[in-house]
Amino acid sequence: MIADQPDVLPARHHVEFVMGMAVSIDIRDVDVPETAVDDVVAWLHHVDATFSTYLEDTPISALGRGEIDLEAAGDEIRTVLRQCEDLRIESSGVFDVFEVPAPNGTRLDPSGFVKGWSIEHAATMLEQHGCLNFCINAGGDIAIRGNPAPGEPWRIGIRHPDRADALATVLVASHQLGIATSATYERGAHIVDPRTGRPVTDIASASVVGPDLTLADAYATILFVMGVDGLDWIAAHDGYDAYVITHDDTTRWTEGFQRYREASPKP
Amino acid sequence: MASAPKSAAPASSTPVQINGEAFSNKFGPVQVQATFAADGSLTSVDAVQTPYADGKSVSINNFAVPRLNSEALTAQSSQVNTISGATYTSNGYRQSLQSAIDIAVANGITTVAAGA
């Protein structure tokens, strides 16, 4: 489309199994520094070693058991928990990492925040390495930058909740975007409403898009708990939009979500 | 047509990398490398050699596009680069559309059509 824009090659593609999931890193820039993917992979393993609630010997597990205090837990954990507390207050307790049954037997589990946060940070790391066009998909939560090829938008399928091999819809986007989907079809009824302590099963799938995957991921969890009424809560956040699939296979979305639909006119 | 990396990991005390056999698809030469941890678990998969592919796409015909309400996705609109969904486990990933896309991208195919 633009004459002096260089061809974009599928320059570096890597799938790392970490944090109990697969993280797909798809960089489309021509020149990708050798260390870019290595640094991101090292970061993800560092996050796992710090925040995993499946492992007994992580700082977050020690903090949850009360063996260390926040001071000893370090800056990263303090920063994460501070943001989690902000989200808890803002969501009137719907998002609460401080009172959940964790795999390590404690009640502290910020995993639902850490995934989006760590991938957003990984995207920033790639940008610092000079990467402009890439997609990181961490177990279904996605951070994109730029374009997959010159003049082409990224095309992001949202999985159908009842069929693993089918799509419910396709989003079209360029430049910086986070996309997160919250649902129970992969891991059973694992999303608990902290206000009732009971698993939430009102809607089949909740997807949130916005500039920062950290927030999109947390908002998707909040929306899943709030149900269809949560669409208004999402819409009140500038730059964030949502798409919900209910159990009777109907779909609802925020007004701004339309901009990501194929049929919407180009700006 | 893809020669997959050997599935059995060798017994070893250190991580092991195994290169799949190099082969050519219609875009050029392809080689995939799998890395196994000391305990034999698969830790990563990479394309160590990929051909140039200029926005070429491939259809994975086994994946059907649903007709959800009035949202009849056309074949064109079902071209995707990536899939958002509920967090899957490492095992769930192996059966996911995303893994099919990763295999396609590692083979130099930049856009995947989910559905015919």
Question: Which of A5-9, A41-45, A136-140, A179-183 bottoms out in mean pLDDT, i.e. has the lowest?
Answer: A5-9
Q: Between B78 and B62, whose confidence is greater?
A: B78
How does the average pLDDT of chain B come out, rounded? 53
> Rounded CA gap, A63 and A86, in Å?
19
Residue B5 has pLDDT above 50, yes or no: no
Strand partners, B91: none
Q: Give residue A53's pLDDT.
A: 96
Sorted by where each begins, the domain ranges of chain B are 1-51, 53-116
Q: What is the CATH number of the domain that holds A102?
A: 3.10.520.10
* Residues of the domain holding A108: 12-260
Q: Is B36 helix (H, G, I), strand (E, B) or coil?
A: strand
Decide if A103 touches B, using CB distance below 8 A: no
Helix ranges (DSSP H) in B1-116 = 90-94, 97-106
Top residue of A170, A219, A251, A262 to mutate, by most chain B CBs within 10 Å, is A170
- pLDDT tier, A38 (very low <50, low <70, confident <90, very high otherwise): very high
Residue A117: per-residue pLDDT:
98
Is pLDDT at B68 greater than 90 in this prediction?
A: no
- What total of structural domains would you count in chain A? 1
Smallest Cβ distance to A149: which of B43, B55, B80? Answer: B55
Q: Could you tell me if residue A267 is inside a domain?
A: no
The pLDDT assigned to A113 comes to 96
Given this model, what pLDDT does residue B27 score? 43
3-class SS string, A101-135: CCCCCCCCCCHHHHHHHHHHHHHHHHHHCCCCCEE
**pLDDT tens digits, one per residue of A210-264:** 999 999 999 999 999 998 889 999 999 999 999 999 888 788 999 999 899 865 4
ipTM: 0.77
Model confidence pLDDT, tens digit, residues A73-130: 999 999 999 999 999 999 999 999 998 889 999 999 999 999 999 999 999 999 999 9
Asked if residue A5 is part of any domain, the answer here is no
Residue that has been written with the tokens 């086994």 in this structure: B62
Q: What pLDDT is attached to residue B51?
A: 43
Q: Which pLDDT band holds residue B56 (cuts at 50, 70, 90)?
A: very low
Please give the pLDDT value at position A200. 73
- Report the number of secondary-structure helices (H) and strands (E) in chain A: 7, 12
What are the φ/ψ torsions at residue A11 (nearest 5 degrees)?
-75, -35
Using a CB–CB cutoff of 8 Å, tell me whether A117 touches chain B: no
Judged by CB atoms closer than 8 Å, whether chains meet at A187 and B87 is answered as: yes
Q: Residue A65 pLDDT more than 90?
A: yes
* Vertex B102 angle, CA A172 and B66, to 5°: 50
Most confident of A11-15, B32-36, B65-69: A11-15
CB contact under 8 A, B80 and A166: no
B43 vs A89, which has greater pLDDT? Answer: A89
pLDDT over 70 at A145, yes or no:
yes
Look at residue A66 and give its three-state secondary structure. coil
Please name the member of B102, B105, B111 whose beta carbon is closest to the beta carbon of A155.
Answer: B111
Residues of chain A found within 8 Å of residue B31, distances taken between Cβ atoms? none
Rounded to an integer, what distance in angstroms lies between the CA atom of residue A265 and that of residue B80?
19
Burial of B8 (0-12, 13-18, 19+ CB in 10 A): exposed
Q: How far is residue A151 CA from its own chain's centroid?
A: 26
Nearest to A159 by CA among B65, B79, B91: B65
* A13 — pLDDT class (breaks 50, 70, 90): confident
A185 lies in a domain?
yes
Segment B75-100, tens digit of pLDDT: 334 577 888 887 766 666 766 677 77
Nearest CA in chain B to A166: B65
Which of the four pLDDT bands, split at 50, 70 and 90, describes residue A26? very high
